[in-house]
Every structure is written in C-alpha cells, then in structure tokens.
C-alpha cells in the first residue's frame, strides 16, 4: 500500500528506520486541508478545512508487516493517530494513499507551517 509520511518517518528522520526495506516512491504534498503542529519532538497533522495548508511529505510503498508496526508506533489503537486516505496535489492527486492524522487536541502547541524539520 502507498503511505504518505510527513514527520519523523521521512528520510533522515529519527523514526525512518521503521521504513527499512520499504520502497520510496516520491516526494508529495497534501491538498490544502491540513495544519501541522510541533507536539514536542514529533509533528501532528490535523484536519482544517477552512485554513488548511498543503503539507509536504513523502510517499512510500509499504508491506502489511511494516504497516502493522507503524500503526503501533502511531498508536492508532490508542486513538492518538488515525490512518486514513490522504488527498494529494498533482501529479499524485489520482493515487490512493493513506497517512496518519493526529486526533488529539493541539491547543498550546506551535503551528509549524507546511513542513516538519528535525
């Protein structure tokens, strides 16, 4: 499956090792529907239909075993992140891609624009 990553999983990020053996496809950007917040060492992308931005990231082809590991890392079962379809900008707008959206409150956290940098 194709997965959009925008934070610590990107190449050079502290959690990139979890993508070992997976295939990098391309750099990409989401449609302008999200905001990115610094949650203290890692980012959270939240939905914002009114003032959303296009978030920069990468598309990876990941296998089922890797996806299970990433779901644990992102605590999807505990409700921190939700893995869902992510609409991308051209030239990837017709691709089926999922990514992780942050579900908890971002009150008090800094909005960091459209790109996470460690």
Active site residues: 74
Question: Rounded distance, CA 53 to CA 35, Å?
Answer: 6
**HSE (side-chain half, CA atoms, 13 Å) at 43:** 28
Cα 113–chain centre separation: 14
**CA–CA separation, 49 and 33 (whole Å):** 5
The answer to whether 31 and 79 are in contact (CB under 8 A) is no
């Amino acid at each position: 499956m194709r997965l959009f990553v925008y934070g610590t999983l990107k190449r050079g990020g502290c959690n990139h090792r979890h993508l070992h053996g997976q295939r990098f496809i391309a750099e990409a950007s989401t449609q302008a529907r999200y905001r990115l917040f610094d949650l203290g060492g890692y980012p959270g992308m939240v939905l914002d239909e009114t003032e959303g931005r296009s978030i920069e990231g990468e598309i990876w082809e990941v296998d089922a075993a890797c996806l299970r590991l990433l779901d644990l890392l992102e605590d999807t079962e505990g409700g921190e992140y939700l893995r869902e379809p992510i609409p991308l900008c051209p030239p990837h707008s017709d691709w089926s891609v999922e990514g992780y959206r942050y579900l908890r409150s971002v009150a008090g956290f800094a909005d960091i624009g459209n790109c996470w940098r460690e």
